[in-house]
Amino acid sequence: MTQMNADNITTNRRQFLSAALAGLSQKGDKQVTGGFVFESQNLGHLIRDRKAFQQPAHREKVPVVIVGGGMAGLSAAWRFGKRGFKDYVLLEMEPDAGGNARWGENEVSRYPWAAHYVPVPNKSSVLVRELFEELGLFRDGRWDERHLCHSPQERLFLHGRWQEGLEPEIAATKNDHDQYKAFEQRIAEFRDSGQFTVPLELKAQLSVLDQINFRDWLKQNKFTSPYLNWYADYSCRDDYGSASEETSAWAGIHYFASREHEEKGPLTWPEGNGWIAKRLIEKAAGHIRKNEMVRRIERAGTSWRVVTSKTIYDADAVVFAAPSFLSSYLIEGGDKFEGFEYSPWLTANLTLDRMPEEKGSELAWDNVIYGSPSLGYVVATHQSVASRINRSVWTYYLPLASEAPAVARKRLLGMDWGTWKEYILNDLERAHPSIRQCVSRIDMFRNGHAMVRPVPGFLGNASRLQAAKGGGGLEFANSDVSGISIFEQAQYRGVLAADRVLRRVGRR
C-alpha cells in the first residue's frame, strides 16, 4: 500500500496549488475555451455507493456476456470472431467502446484520450503480431513505415532548451555517463535472464526484486546520479502512473528490460491506440451494446445473471473486462481485490492555432519537461506528411503520482477546469513562453481509476493470482489482472478469458 504521512500530503498540496496558481491569467492572453469530457464519475459512484436501482423488465438469454469494452473486452470479442463464435454481447457503460484507448477528433486532427502507442512487438508477443498482421501493419516481413513513429521521436527540455532523446545530456557529468552505462549493462543482464517478457505471464516468477521499490533498488545498487534517478522515476510515471518509490523494482526493470532491441518504432497514430480500438470495434459490430452499465452480476446455479439498467442477461459465462476492483461491488459475493491500487490521471487535448517559439531541438512526437510532475505532451499531427504544420493538437499527460491515490483522486475531481487550465499552461510555459498566445481550446479527461499500479509485492499478490486463475464461468480479463496496464497485457488477458469461456460453452 502507498505510505504517505500527513506532512508529505500537506507539502505536496501546497506545491501543487502554487504550481497551478502561479501563472493565473495575464493580460493579452488568448481566450481559451474547453471543458471536461467523459464525466462518468457520477455513474461510477452509483456502483460505489451500492445505490438501489429498478430491476429492468426486459430479459434475454445469451451464452456469453463480456463486461467492459476496453482493449481487453474488445480482444475477447476479437478472439470469439476468429473462432467463429457469435453468441455473445459486449456491454459498455460509456457512449463508445475503447476504454483507455478512446480517441477524439476536431477540425485539426484526430487525437488520443489516453493510450497512444504500442512498441514494435517482440517475437514472443505472438498475439499482438497476429493482430497487427491482420490489420496490415506488418506485411511481407516488414512494418508499414506510415505507422512507425517518424523522427524525431523524443526530446527533453532541460536547463532552458530542448535536447534530443529523454536521457538527460545537457550538463551531464562523467559520473552521470558512467552510471547510464552501468545501468544499461544491468538491464542487458536482466533482459538476457529471459524473465522480463511481454506478456509477462510467459516467464514472470516470484522475485526478490518485487519485494522492494525501484528507487531503493537504484540506491542499493549505487545508482545515485540525479539524472538517472529522474529518468527511472519518469519511466515509472509514464508506464504505471506511479513514482519510482511506489513501484515494484521488478516492474521498474520490466519497463526497460522487456523489449528486444528494435531500431524502429514505436507504432503510433494521430488518435493513438484508438486506431486499433476502432478496428476491433468494427470487427465486433452488432455485438456491442453501448450506454449499458452493468449494475449487478449474480450466480444462478451454474450460470450467471448479468443485470444492467436496461436488461437482465441469463448467461453461461461472463468475461469480466471492466477494472477488477469493481467486482466486489458488482458481483454477488465478489472478492475484494486486496492490494490493488489505481493511479488517477488527467489528460488534456490542447488545440493550437499556431506553433510556439522554442529553443533547441525541433518538435518531436513525445516532448518531456525535466522536473515537471507531468509527462509533457505528444503531438497528434506528428505522423502527418505535410511539410509545414501550423495548427496542431497536443495531448498533455499528468499522472497524479506524488500523493496517495485516494488523496490525488479528490484533488483531480475537486479542482475546476479553470484551475486545471492554469496548471497545464503554467507547466508548458516553462518550455514555451508564448504558449498562451497559441492555444485556443483545452479539453480534459479526469480518470480517477485510470490504471493499476504494480506496487511492491504485486507479482505474488494473492487476489491477483486468484483472479488470473479464473474458473466457474467467470473470467477476469482486464489488464489489471496482470498488474501492468499496457495494450499487450489487455489483449493477452482478453484472449485468454475468451479461450477459457469457449471451452466451457463448448462443453455445454
Ligand X SMILES: Cc1cc2nc3c(=O)[nH]c(=O)nc-3n(C[C@H](O)[C@H](O)[C@H](O)COP(=O)(O)OP(=O)(O)OC[C@H]3O[C@@H](n4cnc5c(N)ncnc54)[C@H](O)[C@@H]3O)c2cc1C
Regarding 397 and contact with ligand X (CB under 6 A), the answer is yes
Give dist(CA 201, CA 129) in Å, integer.
Answer: 17
Q: Are 49 and 255 in contact (CB under 8 A)?
A: no
Q: What is the DSSP letter of 450?
A: E
Provide the minimum distance between the beta carbon of 91 and ligand X in the complex, in angstroms, as a whole number. Answer: 5
What is the gyration radius of the CA atoms in the chain, in angstroms? 23
- Which is closer to ligand X, CB of 108 or CB of 450? 450
Site string for ligand X, 333-362 (x = CB under 6 A): ------------x-x---------------
Task: State whether residue 367 is helix, strand or coil.
Answer: strand
381-388 long-range contacts (CB < 8 A, ≥24 apart) are 381/108, 381/109, 381/270, 382/149, 382/150, 382/268, 382/270, 383/146, 383/147, 383/149, 383/150, 383/268, 383/269, 383/270, 384/109, 384/270
Restricting to residues 69-108, which ones interact with ligand X according to CB under 6 A? 69-73, 91-94, 99-101
Site for ligand X, residues 247 to 276, rule: CB under 6 A = 273
Hey, is 484 helix, strand or coil? Answer: coil
Which residues, numbered 37-76, are part of the site for ligand X (CB under 6 A)?
67-73
Q: Which stretch binds ligand X (CB under 6 A): 401-409, 420-428, 429-437, 482-490?
A: 482-490
Q: From the list 32, 76, 89, 114, which residue makes contact with ligand X (rule: CB under 6 A)?
A: 114
Closer Cβ to ligand X, 393 or 486, answer by number: 486
In this structure, what C-alpha cell is assigned to residue 359?
529553443
Residue 63 vs 68, nearer CB to ligand X: 68
375 near ligand X (CB under 6 A): no
Nearest in space to 161 (alpha carbons), one of 436, 438, 430, 437: 430
Is 422 within 8 Å of 20 (Cβ atoms)?
yes
**Does position 307 bind ligand X by CB under 6 A?**
no
> Which residue, 257 or 355, has its beta carbon nearer to ligand X?
257
Q: Which of residues 438-477 bind ligand X (CB under 6 A)?
A: 447, 450-451
Whichever of 132 and 397 has its CB closer to ligand X, that residue is: 397
Percentages (nearest 5) of helix, strand, coil residues in the chain: 40, 20, 40
478 binds ligand X (CB under 6 A): yes
Residue 402 CB contacts under 8 Å (≥ 6 apart), including other chains: 12, 16, 243, 373, 408
For residue 101, the 8-state DSSP code is G
Shortest CB 305 distance to ligand X, Å:
15
Ranges of H-type helices in 322-456: 327-330, 405-414, 417-429
Q: Indicate the residue among 163 and 482 with the shorter CB distance to ligand X.
A: 482
Contacts (Cβ under 8 Å, ≥6 apart) of 175: 225
Q: How far is the CB of 365 from ligand X (least distance, A)?
A: 11
Rule CB under 6 A: is residue 487 a binding residue for ligand X? yes
Compute the distance between CA of residue 408 and CA of residue 373 in angstroms, rounded to an integer.
13
Q: Please say which residue, 218 or 415, places its beta carbon nearer to ligand X.
A: 415
Comparing CB distances to ligand X, the nearer of 23 and 70 is 70
Q: Which residue minimizes CB distance to ligand X?
A: 70
Q: With binding defined as CB under 6 A, does residue 117 bind ligand X?
A: yes
With contacts defined by CB under 6 A, name the span among 140-148, 166-174, 210-218, 315-323 that binds ligand X: 315-323
485 counts as binding ligand X under rule CB under 6 A: yes
Per-residue binding letters, 5-44, with ligand X (x by CB under 6 A): ----------------------------------------
Question: Residue 105 Cβ, how far from ligand X at the closest point, in Å?
Answer: 18
Residue count at the site for ligand X (CB under 6 A)? 38
Identified binder of ligand X from the candidate list 479, 496, 497, 501, rule CB under 6 A: 479
CB 109 within 8 A of CB 392: yes
Rounded Cα distance between 48 and 472, Å, is 25
Dihedral over Cα of 105, 106, 111, 114: its sign: negative
Q: Does 118 participate in binding ligand X (rule CB under 6 A)?
A: yes
CB 127 within 8 A of CB 487: no
In the complex, which residues of this chain contact ligand X (CB under 6 A)? 67-73, 91-94, 99-101, 114-118, 273, 293-294, 321-323, 326, 345, 347, 397, 447, 450-451, 478-479, 485-487, 490
